[in-house]
């Protein structure tokens, strides 16, 4: 599928309500269990998505538009949420994510991106030259990847409980 | 995590609103693309989940309660939805899934399952002896596995669009 800005924005707008439907009012045990040492719980992942809104996607888009390849992006702190989420309920985190995403999409819309601007190049600190279009496509895939991670973490809590069915359930082996 | 019926039911109840938030009103191209020949689109997967409500989970629970190991389950037709979904919009399918799931959970509640009943044994046509508890845990993991499949199928549509970021996005390699 070719990247079409309006189609990408639709997915980005659907992520907060999707996580809200999945996680709000679910028993807490589903939120705090993870996949073992150094892995993330659904609660952690929502915090990670919030941090991305604050420091990753729109800030990087602005750097591309303002500085092109002349200024590399700030490295993204993938684990900042362990400090930043402390003391917050999942409901607070989901509300924050929805509000930040709404603001991000507002800012994106205000950029009035044309096909030419989408091809504008920036500099990733590790990956090198990337385009604004690639950044926005990555934002979409990053969202979907973390939804997939949340449901995988939840599913693995029943790895033993499913008994012989484990042979049919590939999500338990990822 | 140990299997707790009330916690499992919570996840089962959250799946229809989650799919609704994810898929209703999304541009159609996200619904109909798949991962290549012989793979399923998000639209196909919703149909598959509907068919499971009709023929798999509650019907098998009833067979265990009524017949124990004396009667093997009917094999589940994993691809019945290709015929059954024909002509239906995604909105219709999402509504059907929500209604069928609600009815399934109503029937489950009416079974008044005790810890002893949850250990009751049935016979899977391929896997052999299974318990009712394992069937219900599998129902939960099956839901989560198909949510993960839907977001993976969507993500893969941008496999090329993300450019160099592909190296960081493990969902694109599954």
Q: What is the mean pLDDT of chain B?
A: 96
pLDDT of residue B78: 83
- Distance (Å, whole) CA B152 – CA B158: 10
| Helical axes A90-110 vs A5-23, angle rounded to 10° | 170
Mean pLDDT of B73-92: 90
Name the residue in chain A with its Cα closest to that of B137.
A162
Q: Rounded to a whole number, what is the distance in Å from the CA of B85 to chain A's nearest CA?
A: 23
Which range is least confidently modeled, A76-85, B36-45, B63-72, B83-92?
A: A76-85
Cβ-nearest to A33 among B1, B6, B157: B1
Proportion of chain B above pLDDT 90, given as a percent: 91
Proportion of chain A above pLDDT 90, given as a percent: 91
Q: Rounded to a whole number, what is the distance in Å from the CA of A101 to chain B's nearest CA?
A: 15
CB contact under 8 A, A154 and B144: yes
pLDDT of residue B153: 98
Residue B148's contacts (CB-CB under 8 Å, 6 or more residues apart) are: A147, A148, A151, A152, A155, A171
Residue A128's contacts (CB-CB under 8 Å, 6 or more residues apart) are: B164
CB contact under 8 A, A10 and B22: no
Angle (CA) A84 A85 A86, round 5°: 95
Residues in chain B: 174
Residue A151's contacts (CB-CB under 8 Å, 6 or more residues apart) are: A22, A171, B144, B145, B147, B148
pLDDT-based confidence at A69, cuts 50/70/90?
Answer: very high
Residue B156, token pair as written in the block: 């893969």
pTM: 0.97
pLDDT of residue B174: 86
| CB-count exposure of residue A110 (10 Å: 0-12, 13-18, 19+) | exposed
How does pLDDT run across A22-52, given as a tens digit for each residue? 999 999 999 999 999 999 999 999 999 999 9
Mean pLDDT of B66-86: 90
pLDDT of residue B53: 96
Q: Tell whether B174 is within 8 A of chain A (Cβ).
A: yes
- Distance (Å, whole) CA A98 – CA A87: 19
Place of tokens 């129902």: B139
How does pLDDT run across B111-151, given as a tens digit for each residue? 999 999 999 999 999 999 999 999 999 999 999 999 999 99
CB contact under 8 A, A141 and B6: no
Q: Tell whether A157 is within 8 A of chain B (Cβ).
A: yes
Q: Are A42 and A148 in contact (CB under 8 A)?
A: no
* ipTM attached to this prediction: 0.97
Name the residue in chain A with its Cα closest to that of B3.
A161
- Distance (Å, whole) CA A156 – CA A33: 9
Name the residue in chain A with its Cα closest to that of B138.
A162
pLDDT of residue B10: 98
pLDDT at B80 over 90: no
Displacement of CA A18 from its chain's centroid (Å): 12
Tell me the HSE value of A165 on the side-chain side, using a 13 A CA sphere: 26
Which range is least confidently modeled, A30-39, A94-103, B75-84?
A: B75-84
Secondary structure (3-state) at B37: coil
CB contact under 8 A, B169 and A10: no
CB contact under 8 A, B170 and A142: no
Q: What is the mean pLDDT of chain A?
A: 96
Q: Rounded to a whole number, what is the distance in Å from the CA of B86 to chain A's nearest CA?
A: 23
pLDDT at A174 over 90: no
Residue A21, token pair as written in the block: 């439907």
- Distance (Å, whole) CA A113 – CA A1: 19
pLDDT: which is higher, A147 or B81: A147
Contacts A140 to B, Cβ<8 Å: 155, 158
Q: For residue A40, give the nearest of A168, A156, A150 by alpha carbon.
A: A150
Q: Tell whether B72 is within 8 A of chain A (Cβ).
A: no
């Amino acid at each position: 599928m070719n990247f079409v800005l309006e189609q990408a924005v639709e997915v980005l707008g659907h992520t907060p309500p999707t996580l809200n439907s999945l996680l709000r009012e679910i028993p807490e045990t589903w939120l705090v269990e993870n996949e073992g040492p150094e892995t993330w719980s659904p609660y952690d992942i929502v915090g990670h998505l919030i941090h991305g809104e604050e420091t990753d996607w729109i800030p990087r888009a602005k750097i591309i538009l303002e500085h092109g390849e002349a200024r590399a992006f700030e490295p993204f702190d993938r684990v900042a949420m362990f400090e930043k989420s402390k003391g917050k309920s999942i409901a607070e985190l989901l509300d924050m994510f929805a509000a930040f995403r709404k603001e991000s999409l507002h800012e994106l819309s205000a950029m009035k991106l044309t096909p030419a601007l989408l091809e504008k190049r920036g500099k990733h600190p590790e990956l090198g030259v990337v385009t604004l279009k690639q950044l926005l496509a990555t934002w979409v895939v990053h969202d979907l990847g973390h939804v997939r991670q949340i449901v995988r973490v939840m599913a693995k809590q029943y790895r033993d409980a499913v008994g012989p069915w484990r042979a049919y359930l590939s999500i338990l082996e990822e």
